[in-house]
Amino acid sequence: MSATPETGDYEVVILGAGVNGAGLYRDLCAQGVDCLLVDKGDFGSGSSAAPSRLIHGGLKYLETGEFGLVAQSTLERNLLLRNAPHLVHPLPTVIPIFSWTRGIGAALRTFFGAKQAPRSRGALLVKIGLALYDFYGRRARVMPRHALWRRGRALEKLPALTPRIVAAGTYYDASVTAPERLVWELVAEGSAANPRSRALNATALRPGDGAALSFDLPDGGSLTTRPRVVVNAAGPWIDKVNALMGAPSKLIGGTKGSHILLDHPELVRQLAGRMIYFEADDGRICLVFDYLGRALVGSTDIPAEDPDAVRCEETETAYFLESLRGLLPGLSFDAGQIVARYSGIRPLPASDGTAPGLISRDHSAPVAEPEGARRFPILSMVGGKWTTFRGFSEEVADTVLARLGRGRERSTRELPIGGGRDFPKGAAARASWLAEAARESGVEEARLAVLLDRYGTTAARIAGHEGPGAAPLADAPGYTRGEIDWIARHEQVVHLADVVLRRTTLAITGRLTGRDLEAIAGILGEALGWDDARREGELSETRRLLEERHGVRL
């Protein structure tokens, strides 16, 4: 292993390669800024790997009067549907309604600053909210407007739904099939836009005196750089990272969100691609939707502080199952249906005394100016939500550019992401793309269609690498050995977990087996030069991680 110390000059160092850090990296690289992006784990492996997998406009933020956030969120949702159509898809959504007029008084009190969210939102309140949601989502609109279903139609569409409903509201949001992959594509886009920039995963920040930043590299070496600006995009780790740089802060007061995935074919069949967005008996908002053939259920909203220790607890899974039983009495639910679980901390702004559900999901970027030995300012990316990462990144990028004395050269508003570039729109364009890719690669169109849905237009390169008749994994035939080899050689993989948890959806959907895990480890070992001891160590650590953090036992 190398132990050679490196030095490098970067104008901007971004600490944390979640969706906000990766979005900022891509934006600044597109402006020609030399950036260093660093994460102690993998790209998108922290809070960005634990969302509800929704790209939503923030319907519930209307209750707290955060109209600006709803306007930004609905716009960014619509832009993502255009710029990342291979990963972000429309999601028709149903809200079960249990009364006609309840909740109006409580909603008004919440709007004017009450500390408790309204309960039992009636049809009139839902109708007003959905009309406002359509109004704010009119910019760059790509999806239908809302509707209100009568009880009979709702039960016809979802027979297992409780007959206690009086109506159902319907509207559209969006979902992201692979949030971790979208983060990786943002990173790759940034590095391609400015080859002088560099993105490093599995790289730890050392405590320092503030004059420079030093890092431990995954190969055993080190890197030292003296940036002009530092951006702390470490999410729930922001305060810890600031302390390492000698700039202690108390900016983050996050809440924990947990989710489970169920192997429940009948529920998935009745959902028919829809999400049910519902209020549990205790007033908390929950959701369930079809995620790649599994029923994804979430989410809790519990105060939590340690992002390294967060887990989806048994009490939370019991809460989810009981909530589903109340909502869908026509179906059965038990813990044996759970194939995976995950949990993460939302990096919300510190907000003592506020109910978790009412803490703002808006964002800010407070600045710690140079002080003492520290010669660079630190901008901390606080708060925000998955959907608004591009807008947040753009705001921070403009601040950084101003401090560097530079102007913006291009906008990211209409910039495709990764495999979204030149993505075929419509059935005819898709058929044409598949036919052309089949002629060039020799790979069958059916296989190319799988790759196109998974990777967008990057599928052509992957197909060219794996070739016709590629050998599939034994228990996940939708993935091939050549596909995994391409990921290992082109997507900055450091650990086995990077592949099974983030470059693919094998683990999170509960479709990973011990046999396939060993096969993937073998492919990575050959591609990355692992010896037997390294491969066995990676297998052991990945099994431990899957069981302890995700409830996946192979």
Over residues 335-346, the mean pLDDT reads 94
Which residues face 215 on adjacent strands? 205, 223
Measured CA to CA, the distance from residue 159 to residue 184 in angstroms comes to 40
Sheet (strand 12-15) strand order: 198-200, 35-38, 12-15, 229-232, 378-380, 367-368
Q: For residue 229, what are the contacts with CB-CB under 8 A and spacing of at least 6? A: 11, 12, 13, 376, 377, 379, 400, 403, 404
Q: Which residue has the higher pLDDT, 121 or 438?
A: 438
pLDDT band at 2 (very low <50, low <70, confident <90, very high): very low
Q: What is the pLDDT of residues 242-262, one digit of tens each?
A: 999 999 999 988 788 999 999
Q: What is the pLDDT of residues 19-56, one digit of tens each?
A: 999 999 999 999 999 999 999 999 999 999 999 999 99
Statement: residue 64 has pLDDT above 80: no
Measured CA to CA, the distance from residue 207 to residue 185 in angstroms comes to 30
For 176, the enclosing helix (H) or strand (E) is strand 167-176
| Highest-scoring range by mean pLDDT, 95-99, 280-284, 481-485, 549-553 | 481-485
User: Can you give the three-state secondary structure of 347-397, one letter per residue?
Assistant: CCECCCCCCHHHCCCCEECCEECCECCECCCEEECEECCHHHHHHHHHHHH
**Start-end ranges of CATH 1.10.8 in the chain?**
424-550
The CATH class, in words, for 424-550 is mainly alpha
Amino acid 115: pLDDT = 52
Tell me if 100 sits within 8 A of 123, measured CB to CB.
yes
Amino acid 116: pLDDT = 57
**Start-end ranges of CATH 3.30.9.10 in the chain?**
89-174+254-347
User: Can you give the three-state secondary structure of 9-29, one letter per residue?
Assistant: CCCEEEECCCHHHHHHHHHHH
Amino acid 136: pLDDT = 84
DSSP 471: P
**Start-end ranges of CATH 3.50.50.60 in the chain?**
5-47+180-252+361-404
**Of 301, 341, 302, residue with least CA distance to 321:** 341
For 244, the enclosing helix (H) or strand (E) is helix 238-244
Measured CA to CA, the distance from residue 91 to residue 291 in angstroms comes to 11
Q: What is the pTM of this model?
A: 0.93
Work out the burial of residue 350: count CB atoms within 10 Å of its CB; fewer than 13 is exposed, 13-18 middle, 19 or more buried.
Answer: middle
* Mean pLDDT lowest among 120-129, 422-431, 513-522, 539-548: 120-129
Statement: residue 544 has pLDDT above 50: yes
Q: What is the pLDDT of residues 295-340, one digit of tens each?
A: 999 988 788 778 888 899 999 999 999 999 999 999 999 999 999 9
The amino acid at residue 508 is: I
Extract the tokens encoding 103.
């909740």
Amino acid 425: pLDDT = 94
The overall average pLDDT reported for the chain is 91
The CATH class, in words, for 5-47+180-252+361-404 is alpha beta
**Of 324, 321, 355, residue with least CA distance to 335:** 321
Work out the burial of residue 524: count CB atoms within 10 Å of its CB; fewer than 13 is exposed, 13-18 middle, 19 or more buried.
Answer: buried
The domain covering 89-174+254-347 belongs, at the CATH homologous superfamily level, to: D-Amino Acid Oxidase, subunit A, domain 2 (3.30.9.10)
pLDDT band at 126 (very low <50, low <70, confident <90, very high): confident
Amino acid 1: pLDDT = 39
Measured CA to CA, the distance from residue 399 to residue 379 in angstroms comes to 9
* Mean pLDDT lowest among 2-16, 152-166, 310-324: 2-16
Q: What is the pLDDT of residues 352-409, one digit of tens each?
A: 655 555 556 678 899 999 998 899 999 999 988 899 999 999 999 999 999 999 999 9
Phi, psi of 345 (to 5 degrees): -105, 130
Question: What is residue 252's three-state secondary structure?
Answer: strand
Q: How far apart are the first and last CA of the chain?
A: 32
Over residues 111-137, the mean pLDDT reads 75
Cβ burial 286-303 (10 Å sphere, 16+ → b, else e): bbbbbbeebbbbbbbbbe
Over residues 155-180, the mean pLDDT reads 95
Statement: residue 63 has pLDDT above 50: yes
Statement: residue 240 has pLDDT above 60: yes
